[in-house]
């Protein structure tokens, strides 16, 4: 069963169901501007992705548990309505930090044991490299509360934020995907994750220390709220400037996601 459950899932939310689109016209979904409930603050040293603070979520926040896995096949998806909360708007203030020089933010939600997330890793990295001057890419490990894989997702999120704490995400992200998806490595415990890290050139003692650090603890606890506040219903999903998103299903395939992201960035530039 397990391989069958590693494909894309779309889950209906908040009382409206529409058929999942397959046409390229649905590759980009624009959301109306709404008040955001997250500050988007990050601890840039030593990690790039460790979230340090956020505002309370809105009272009407959608947080219903999923009816299926986040990467399982489904026939329906949520309607294109605005998120109650999301990431910081492009050009918006960063809490306790300098104003971002880049004009757009792309937030990717992924899971190491999701086949589509693994396939998107290289194209997304290349896309971000082409947009170094105008887009800031932020990765968020998915924790879907109530899903059958929540426990595994939490351990993978801890691994991601540990790598970030050590400044190893850029160097190791693709390697983790290969280990989990291709080599079927179990990296869900401290011991196994530390052994893997040591085999990839990291200091085992430093890895263990980061693995249980307060910063990583906070980031792992925050991840489910980010997942819910951004109203993610498919893995992977990339949200641009909090107002538009794309995914393999919306774009008509993983290979089309970079082009859909280009369109989102262009739409954002046109709106400035």
Q: Which two tokens stand for residue 181?
A: 């998806």
In 3D, which of 71, 72, 59, 82 has the Cα closest to residue 13? 82
Q: Give the model's confidence band at 261: pLDDT under 50 very low, under 70 low, under 90 confident, else very high.
A: very high
* Rounded Cα distance, 3 and 13, in Å: 25
CA distances to 97, 218, 256 from 214, in Å = 20, 6, 38
Residue 100 carries which DSSP code? P
Q: Which two tokens stand for residue 80?
A: 């294109």
What pLDDT digit, counting tens, does each position of 231-254 carry? Answer: 999 999 999 999 899 999 999 999
pLDDT at 8 exceeding the cut of 90: no
Q: What is the CA radius of gyration of the chain?
A: 17
Residue 244 near residue 267 (C-beta atoms within 8 A): yes
Q: What is the pTM of this model?
A: 0.67
Average pLDDT of the chain to the nearest whole number: 73
Crossing angle (nearest 10°) for helices 257-270 and 115-130:
50
Distance of CA 26 to the CA centre of its chain: 20
* Rounded Cα distance, 124 and 255, in Å: 10
């Amino acid at each position: 069963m397990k391989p069958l459950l590693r494909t894309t899932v779309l889950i209906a939310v908040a009382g409206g169901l529409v058929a999942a689109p397959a046409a390229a016209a649905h590759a980009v979904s624009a959301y109306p501007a709404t008040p955001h409930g997250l500050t988007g603050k990050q601890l840039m040293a030593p990690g790039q992705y460790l979230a340090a603070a956020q505002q309370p979520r809105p009272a009407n926040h959608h947080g219903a548990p999923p009816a299926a896995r986040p990467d399982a096949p489904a026939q329906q998806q949520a309607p294109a309505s605005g998120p109650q909360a999301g990431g910081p708007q492009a050009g918006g203030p960063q809490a306790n930090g300098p104003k971002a020089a880049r004009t757009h933010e792309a937030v990717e939600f992924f899971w190491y044991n999701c086949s589509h997330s693994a396939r998107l890793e290289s194209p997304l990295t290349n896309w971000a490299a082409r947009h170094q001057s105008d887009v800031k890419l932020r990765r968020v490990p998915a924790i879907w509360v109530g899903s059958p894989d929540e426990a595994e997702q939490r351990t993978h999120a801890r691994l991601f934020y540990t790598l970030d704490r050590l400044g190893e995400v850029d160097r190791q992200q693709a390697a983790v995907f290969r280990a989990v998806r291709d080599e079927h490595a179990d990296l869900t415990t401290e011991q196994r994750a530390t052994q893997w890290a040591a085999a990839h050139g990291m200091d085992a003692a430093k890895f263990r220390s980061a693995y249980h650090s307060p910063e990583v603890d906070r980031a792992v606890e925050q991840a489910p709220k980010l997942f819910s506040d951004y109203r993610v219903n498919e893995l992977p999903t990339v949200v641009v400037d909090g107002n538009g998103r794309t995914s393999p299903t919306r774009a008509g395939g993983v290979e089309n996601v970079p082009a859909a992201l280009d369109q989102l960035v262009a739409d954002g530039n046109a709106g400035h």
